[in-house]
């Protein structure tokens, strides 16, 4: 018999966070989160998303043993401002037992119906900067820290419970040697002159900070047309600054500004932290931080985390300016492989940007939906 328990205390939430450590203890591809950071994500006093969202957390038990978990999420900005009557769910992990996954999703569906929502979708996080999607291909490669990993059996559970595919994502990679400067070197010089643009270079995180609010504003503008997009609020900007920017090498952040110093394009690349996080095994201290710091300084693999171009400058070649900056930086640092985070299959604009680098899709993932009415 399966029993489901709702969680309330910090101790219970820590158990929630640590469940996948047991579920994936034998996997060479699963990447553990930092436990402290994961708990802060769920902390209403620390994560400003809770000003506009709410979440409830559940663990499933079988024979007094934890066998699954799920977070039931409502983003009220999405529901009220965008009229998307969506019940979100994420952090959904379970043993290969249909009764377990069914019992957990039943809690999500119940909460959705109680709030007069029209459908569930997951796995997703609170916002567009959270992890997304259940993996459907690519189980034999390590997961970047910005994505979820899961066992292959997850997908059949969604299908058996009448969940339908809602969105499809792909993750690709390419060797840096595929990047040929002739595709953008001359073009970027012409574009900078024509539109009076300047590429900014950073060597210190403190130099980046004056531009971060503008970056998040541009992120909101450039991604607003995509399905499922929920804008980042002002208070969330401050949170993400502290959470993300310090992890990123300042030389991996590229901004392009116009003659008025207004931001027209940006990109954020992160070192590949996955193997360092595996060594850290959920803890920053005493040795985890050392592994992460080493990866930040020495990793020869990088992940393109975000790239955004102002709508009025899209299709004008601004990405060529950004790629030229990265080409110079990565050549100097001896970067070997470039990875991309999950991108919507129907985002044709982003796929065109990368085509000259001949990327290979190595993972696919999907979100699933079920109507509640």
How does pLDDT run across 97-129, given as a tens digit for each residue? Answer: 999 999 999 999 999 999 999 999 999 999 888
Q: Which domain holds residue 271?
A: 175-362
Same-domain check for residues 277 and 128: no
368 assigned to some structural domain: no
Same-domain check for residues 180 and 312: yes
β-strands 301-309, 337-340 pairing: parallel
Count of structural domains within the chain: 2
**pLDDT band at 145, cuts 50/70/90?**
confident
pLDDT greater at residue 348 or residue 24 = 24
In this model, does residue 246 exceed pLDDT 80? Answer: no
Same-domain check for residues 146 and 252: no
Cα distances (angstroms) measured from residue 325 to each of 113, 253, 332: 50, 10, 11
Same-domain check for residues 196 and 345: yes
372 assigned to some structural domain: no
- Considering only CA atoms, which of 97, 30, 102 is closest in space to residue 70? 102
φ, ψ at 4 (rounded to 5°): -120, 130
Average pLDDT for the chain: 94
Same-domain check for residues 34 and 165: yes
Q: Which of 45-49, 144-148, 244-248, 300-304 has the lowest mean pLDDT?
A: 244-248
In this model, does residue 197 exceed pLDDT 80? Answer: yes
**pLDDT band at 227, cuts 50/70/90?**
low
In this model, does residue 341 exceed pLDDT 80? Answer: yes
User: What is residue 345's three-state secondary structure?
Assistant: coil
Same-domain check for residues 120 and 254: no
- Residue 360, exposed/middle/buried by CB under 10 A (0-12, 13-18, 19+)? exposed
Domain boundary among 171, 192, 225: 171
Same-domain check for residues 301 and 181: yes
Domain boundary among 171, 201, 225: 171
Q: How many CB atoms are closer than 10 A to CB 177? A: 10
Across residues 158-178, what is the average pLDDT?
97
pLDDT greater at residue 222 or residue 172 = 172
Per DSSP, the residues of 20-87 read HHHHTTT-SS--PPPHHHHHHHT-TTT-GGGGTEEEEEEEEEETTEEEEEEEEEEEHIIIIIS---EE
Same-domain check for residues 202 and 122: no
Which residues sit opposite 340 in a β-bridge?
304
Same-domain check for residues 19 and 161: yes
321 assigned to some structural domain: yes
Write the Ramachandran bin of 138: left for phi over 0, alpha for psi from -120 to 50, otherwise beta: left
218 assigned to some structural domain: yes
Domain boundary among 171, 201, 221: 171
Q: How far apart are CA 2 and CA 60, in angstroms?
A: 7
Across residues 78-93, what is the average pLDDT?
95
Residues 6+ apart with CB under 8 A from 112: 72, 87, 119, 120, 372
Per-residue pLDDT tens digits for 254-294: 999 999 999 999 999 999 999 999 999 999 988 999 999 99
Q: Are 256 and 318 in contact (CB under 8 A)?
A: yes
In this model, does residue 12 exceed pLDDT 70? Answer: yes
Same-domain check for residues 94 and 66: yes
Per-residue pLDDT tens digits for 26-60: 999 999 999 999 999 999 999 999 999 999 999 99
Prior bond of 325 cis (ω within 30°): no
- Considering only CA atoms, which of 355, 362, 268, 262 is closest in space to residue 312? 262
- Residue 182, exposed/middle/buried by CB under 10 A (0-12, 13-18, 19+)? exposed
Same-domain check for residues 81 and 153: yes
130 assigned to some structural domain: yes
CATH number at residue 22: 3.40.630.30
Same-domain check for residues 51 and 184: no
Identify the pLDDT of residue 347.
Answer: 82
Identify the pLDDT of residue 350.
Answer: 81
Q: Are 87 and 119 in contact (CB under 8 A)?
A: yes
């Amino acid at each position: 018999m399966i029993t489901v328990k709702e969680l309330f205390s910090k101790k219970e939430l820590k158990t929630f966070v640590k469940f996948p450590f047991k579920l994936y203890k034998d996997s060479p591809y699963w990447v553990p989160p930092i436990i402290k950071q994961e708990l802060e994500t769920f902390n209403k006093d620390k994560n400003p998303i809770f000003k506009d969202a709410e979440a409830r957390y559940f663990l499933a038990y079988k024979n007094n043993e934890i066998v699954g978990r799920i977070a039931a999420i409502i983003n009220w900005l999405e529901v009220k401002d965008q009229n998307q009557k969506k019940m979100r769910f994420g952090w959904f992990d379970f043993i290969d037992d249909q009764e377990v996954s069914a019992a957990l999703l039943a809690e999500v569906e119940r909460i959705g119906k109680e709030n007069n929502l029209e459908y569930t979708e997951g796995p997703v996080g609170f916002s567009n900067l959270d992890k997304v999607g259940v993996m459907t291909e690519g189980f034999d490669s390590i997961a970047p820290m910005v994505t979820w990993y899961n066992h292959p059996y997850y997908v059949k559970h969604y299908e058996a419970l009448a969940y339908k595919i809602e969105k499809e994502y792909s993750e690709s990679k390419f060797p840096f040697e595929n990047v040929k400067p002739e595709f953008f070197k001359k073009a970027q010089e012409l574009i900078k002159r024509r539109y009076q643009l300047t590429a900014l270079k950073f060597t210190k995180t403190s130099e980046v900070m004056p531009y971060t609010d503008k970056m998040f504003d541009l992120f909101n503008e450039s991604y607003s047309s995509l399905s499922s997009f929920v804008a980042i609020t002002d208070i969330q900007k401050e949170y993400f600054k502290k959470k993300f920017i310090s992890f990123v090498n300042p030389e991996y952040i590229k901004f392009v500004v116009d003659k008025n110093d207004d931001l027209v394009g940006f990109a954020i690349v992160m070192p590949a932290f996955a193997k360092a996080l595996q060594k850290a095994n959920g803890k920053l201290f005493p040795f985890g931080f050392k592994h992460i710091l080493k990866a930040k300084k020495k990793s020869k693999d990088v992940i393109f985390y975000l790239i955004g171009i102002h709508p009025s400058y899209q299709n004008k070649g601004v990405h060529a300016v950004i790629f030229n900056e990265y080409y110079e930086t990565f050549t100097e640092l001896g970067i070997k492989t470039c990875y991309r985070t999950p991108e919507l299959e129907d985002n044709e604009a982003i796929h065109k940007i990368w085509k000259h680098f001949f990327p290979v899709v190595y993972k696919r993932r999907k979100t699933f939906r079920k109507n509640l009415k």
